[in-house]
Amino acid sequence: MHDDLKLFIELAEFLISEETNNPVAIPIDTKKLYDTIDIELHDEPTIDDTFKDTLKEIIRSTPKTASKAFFNQLFGGRISRATLGDLLAVMLNNSMYTYKVAGVQVGIEKIILQSICERIGYGENSDGTIAPGGSMCNYMAMLMARDAFDASIRNEGMSKTLIAYTSDTSHYSVTKNASFVGIGRHQVRSVKTNAKGEMLPEELELQIKEDLDKGYHPFFVNATAGTTVLGAFDDVVKISQICKVHHLWLHLDGAYCGSVIFSKQYKHLVEGIALTDSFSVNAHKMLGTPLGCSIIVTKDKKHLYQSFSNDADYLYQTDDDAFNLGKTSLQCGRRNDALKLWTLWKSVGNNGLEKIVDYQFYLANVARDYIRSNSDYTLYSFDNSISVCFNYKGISAESLCTKLYEHSKLMVGYGTFRGNTFVRLVTINTQVEEKDMLLFFKTLENFVDSEDF
Ligand SMILES: *Cc1c(COP(=O)(O)O)cnc(C)c1O
Residue type for 368, please? R
The answer, as to whether pTM is greater than 0.85, is: yes
Ligand 1 centre from 40 Cα, in Å?
Answer: 32
Query: Does residue 315 surpass a pLDDT of 80?
Result: no
How many C-beta atoms lie closer than 10 Å to residue 3's C-beta?
A: 8
Which residue puts its alpha carbon closest to atom 3 of ligand 1? 134
Q: Are 136 and 330 in contact (CB under 8 A)?
A: yes
229-286 pLDDT, tens per residue?
999 999 999 999 999 999 999 999 999 999 999 999 999 999 999 999 999 999 999 9
Average pLDDT of the segment spanning 424-449: 97
pLDDT level of residue 431 (50, 70, 90 thresholds): very high
CA of residue 292 to ligand 1 center, whole Å: 11
C-alpha angle 217-218-220 in degrees, rounded to nearest 5? 135
Ligand 1 centroid–CA 134 distance in Å is 5
Distance of CA 256 from the midpoint of ligand 1 (Å) = 6
Ligand 1 pocket, CB under 6 A: 74, 133-135, 171, 173, 224, 226, 228, 253, 255-256, 282, 292, 294
Stretch 389-415: mean pLDDT? 97
- Would the pLDDT of 85 be above 80? yes
Helices 173-181 and 134-149 sit at what angle, rounded to 10 degrees? 50
339 CA → ligand 1 middle, Å = 21
Gap from CA of 417 to ligand 1 centroid (Å): 18
Residue 65 above 90 pLDDT? yes
DSSP per-residue letters across 2-42: HHHHHHHHHHHHHHHHHHHH-SSPPP--GGGHHHHS-----
Judged against a pLDDT cut of 80, whether residue 317 lies above it is answered with no
Ligand 1, residues 75, 227, 282: which to mutate, most atoms within 8 A of Cβ? 282
Looking at the CA of residue 292, tell me the nearest atom of ligand 1. 7
| CA-284 nearest atom, ligand 1 | 7
Please check the confidence at residue 319 and state whether its pLDDT lies above 80. Answer: no
The average pLDDT across 158-181 equals: 97
Which stretches within 120-228 are classed as H helix?
134-149, 153-156, 173-181, 201-213
pLDDT of amino acid 318: 76
Pairing of strands 162-167, 217-224: parallel
pLDDT tens for 190-215 read: 999 999 999 999 999 999 999 999 99
pLDDT at 452 over 90: no
pLDDT tens digits for 328-379? 999 999 999 999 999 999 999 999 999 999 999 999 999 999 999 999 999 9
d(CA 85, CA 90): 9
Could you tell me the pLDDT band of residue 35, with boundaries at 50, 70 and 90? very high
Q: Please provide residue 183's backbone torsions phi and psi, each rounded to the nearest 5 degrees.
A: -85, -20
Buried b (16+ CB within 10 A) or exposed e, 136-151: bbbbbbbbbbbbbbee
CA-proximal residue: ligand 1, atom 2 (nearest): 255
